[in-house]
Structure 1
C-alpha cells in the first residue's frame, strides 16, 4: 500500500497534458524458457508473406555457444527459406560494418535479417535493413542527417542477453569516425518478431552478465526521470530496477540459475519498452562518446562508471522519485535533495559490491581525455535529442563535472 501511495503521489506531479503512445507498435514477442522453438512458427509466417531469403546476423562466439543452429537451420529449411550467415558483428558497430552488411544483403537479395545476439547485432541489422529501403544512402547519411526511419526490411531478433532492449525498440546506434555514437529511430526499426529465451543467456560470461543487466538498470532509471516520463514507463522502470537489484547478484554468482536469468531478461524487456516510450537522458548521452573513443568499453560498464555522478546532478530534481526507484538498493533514502551525495556514494558502493567497481581510469581514460569527451558529448548529433528530455540542462559545465567526478571512486 505504501508503494502504491508513493506511485500515486508521483503521478500527480506529472504533466497531464504530455501526450504519449500507450500502445506503440512493437514486435510479436515470445518470452520464456524454450521460446527459441517458436522460430518454426516465425519461419512459417515469413514464408507465407513471400519472404524466402534470410541473412543470420551474429558473431562466432554467440552462434557457437548458444547452439541455436539446431533450431534455426531446420526451421528455415523446412519452410524453403534460403539463408546465409554474417558473423562479423563487433561490439559498438561502425558505419562501415553496417554498410558492409547492407551490401552483402543486396547481393544476396535478402528479404529478412535474423539477429542472434544482443544490442550490437540488432544495431547492425536494423541499420542495414533501413539502408535496403533507402537506396543510394550510406550509414553515415542515415545517422548524421537524422533521417526518420519509416521503412526497413523485416528484422527478427533472437535475444541472447538481458540488457539491451533493442529487440523491442525503434532505435539503432552506430559509431562514427569522429568519436560519436549517434542514433536513428522510427517505426521501421521495430523488429517484426522477437524471441526472449532466458536459456540462451546461460553462457554469458560474468562480465557480460553484469554489463548487460546494468544497461537495463540505466534504461529504467533514465526513462523514469526524463521530462517525457509517464505512468506506464515509470511503473515498468520501478519493476525492472527491483528485479535487477534482486536477481543480478544471484546471476553473477550462480551463472546457471535459470530463475535469475528469466527475471533479468524480463526486467530488460520491460526496461526496453519503458525507454522506447519515454526516451533516455544524461547517462547514455555521456557514455556514447566513451565507447566511441574506446570501443573496448562495454556499454553497460561505461554507463555504470558515470551513473553515480549523474545521480548527484539529477537526484536534486527528482529526490522522492529517485529514492523510490533505488529503494531496493539504498533502503534508507528519505527522498530529500540534500542526500544527493549520499545516494551517489551508496550506489557506487553497490556497483562495486556486485563486481563493477570500474571508473573512467579503469576503462583507460585519463584526466587528459576529459576535454575531448566533453567536446564530443556536446557536439554529438545525438545530444540535442537527449538534452530535450534531460531533467537538467546539458551544459559544458554539467558534462565536465560528471566526467571529472567519474574518473576515480568517490566512496
Structure 2
C-alpha cells in the first residue's frame, strides 16, 4: 500500500516569502509565534525585519523567539513554551533550518496540549496542535514537509525522533532567495543530508512506488545542482533545484523512513556535537557498503540517478554509489571537516555507547538488511579507520612542508 502524508500547501517561487501573511490569514492565524534561527535575526541578514514588514502589512500580530542554538532539545521546547504562553499565540511559524522547524513542530503540539507525552506521540490517533507554517532557509532537512521531528532529550542527551502524520506542517514556503547566504560548508552538509534522505528512502524496506519517484528525482537534482551551488552560492537556479530536491527527499523519507545511516548519524552527532548533515555524510559510504548485497537493484537505480553510465556491468553499477559518495566527501571537504569534531581515539572508545544510542532510535528495522550490534560496531570502526588515515596524511603533509 502506498500512502503519502503531505502539507496542505507547498509554495515554490523566488520571493515566495512575500505570500506569508496571506497564507497565515487563510488558515485563520492572527497571532503568530515565530521560531527563527538566531543568526537570521542578526546583521547582515536581519531576516526578522523583512518578516515583520510582511506580517504587519497583513495585520498579523507576532512574537519572535530566537533563544536557541544548535539542534533543538526539550529544554528549548520548554523555554519557547513559556514565551508562547505569555504571548497567547494562535499559530506557529518555523523559519530556518531543520532545528527551527522541528522546534516549531514541537511547540505547535505542546502549545495546544501541554500534557502530550513525548514517547507517546507516535501512538496518538490524532495530535491536537496549532496551525503550523514552515519556511526553510536551507536545502537539506526537508522538515517543512515531513511528519518527523528530531528533539534531543536534555537529560539523557538521546535524540528523539517521534513521527506522526499530524506533525506535517499545514503550509511549506520554499523561497530559494532565502538560501543565497548559506555558506559553502553548510550548503554541502544540508545538501548531502538531502541526498542521504533520498537514498535511504529508496533503500528502505518501506519504500513505495510513490516514494521511489520522489527519491530518484531528488538524487538527480542534487547530482546536477550541489556542485554548482558549492562553487557559486549565488546561482539562483541551482539553489531552486536544491530546495526542490530537499523537499522531494523529505517527502520520500517522511513516508518511507530513513535507516542505518541516520540511526548511526544521530548517535554520532549527539555524542560529538557535529552538524547533522555532516555526521550522516561521514557514515553513508560505510552503511551502503554494509547493505550492498541486500539491495543491488535499488543501488543500480541510484547509480544511474547519480550519473553512472548504463554500460557499466552489474557489479560496478551496484558499487557506484559508494564511490560517488566517497568522491563527494573528498571534493566537498567532508572527511577533513569530520576531523575538526572527532578525535579518532575518543571515537573508538565511544563506540559501545554509540551503538547503544543507534539501537535506541528508529532506522534499524527499516534497513533492508537489518544490522546486528556487531554490524553497527563495524560501521563506526570503518569511520574511525578512515579518519585516522586522513589524519595521518595531514600530519605527513605538514612534516613535508
TM-score band, normalised by shorter chain:
0.7 to 0.9
Q: How does 1:319-358 map to 2 (within 5 A)?
A: 319-329=296-306, 331=308, 334=312, 336=314, 344-358=322-336
Aligned to 2:68: 89
1:126 aligns with 2:105: yes
Instruction: Calculate the TM-score normalised by the size of structure 1.
Output: 0.86
Give the Å deviation of 1:372.
1.3
1:184 aligns with 2:162: yes
Distance 1:234 1:218, change over 3 A: same
CA contact (8 A) 1:170 1:276 kept: yes
Separation in structure 2 between the aligned mates of residue 363 and residue 187 of structure 1, nearest angstrom? 35
SS of residue in 1 equivalent to 2:149: strand
Aligned with 2:92 (options 81, 99, 113): 113
Separation in structure 2 between the aligned mates of residue 335 and residue 170 of structure 1, nearest angstrom? 38
SS of residue in 1 equivalent to 2:145: coil
- Pairwise CA RMSD: 2.3
CA contact (8 A) 1:151 1:187 kept: no
Separation in structure 2 between the aligned mates of residue 407 and residue 214 of structure 1, nearest angstrom? 20
CA contact (8 A) 2:198 2:219 kept: yes
SS of residue in 1 equivalent to 2:335: coil
Distance 1:401 1:338, change over 3 A: farther
Aligned with 1:158 (options 132, 135, 140): 135
Moved more, 331-340 or 146-155: 331-340
Measured against aligned partners, the alpha-carbon deviations of 1:349-371 in whole angstroms (never above 9, x if no partner) come to 23211332248655314211112
SS of residue in 1 equivalent to 2:384: coil
Aligned with 1:368 (options 349, 356, 379): 349
Aligned to 1:3: none
SS of residue in 2 equivalent to 1:240: helix
Distance 1:253 1:408, change over 3 A: farther
Aligned to 2:173: 195
CA contact (8 A) 2:299 2:319 kept: no
CA contact (8 A) 1:301 1:356 kept: yes
Separation in structure 2 between the aligned mates of residue 174 and residue 144 of structure 1, nearest angstrom? 14
SS of residue in 2 equivalent to 1:260: helix
Aligned to 1:170: 147
> How many correspondences in the alignment?
381
SS of residue in 1 equivalent to 2:162: strand
Separation in structure 2 between the aligned mates of residue 339 and residue 257 of structure 1, nearest angstrom? 31
CA contact (8 A) 2:121 2:164 kept: no
Give the Å deviation of 1:242.
1.4
SS of residue in 1 equivalent to 2:334: coil
Aligned with 1:303 (options 280, 293, 304): 280
Aligned to 1:33: 14
Aligned to 1:5: none
Separation in structure 2 between the aligned mates of residue 68 and residue 352 of structure 1, nearest angstrom? 33
Moved more, 115-124 or 175-184: 175-184
CA contact (8 A) 2:308 2:320 kept: no
Give the Å deviation of 1:40.
2.9
Distance 1:362 1:407, change over 3 A: farther
1:398 aligns with 2:375: yes
CA contact (8 A) 2:9 2:172 kept: yes
Distance 1:340 1:400, change over 3 A: farther
Separation in structure 1 between the aligned mates of residue 3 and residue 318 of structure 2, nearest angstrom? 32
Instruction: Calculate the TM-score normalised by the size of structure 2.
Output: 0.88
Give the Å deviation of 1:388.
2.7
Distance 1:390 1:86, change over 3 A: same
Separation in structure 1 between the aligned mates of residue 357 and residue 120 of structure 2, nearest angstrom? 14
CA contact (8 A) 1:40 1:75 kept: yes
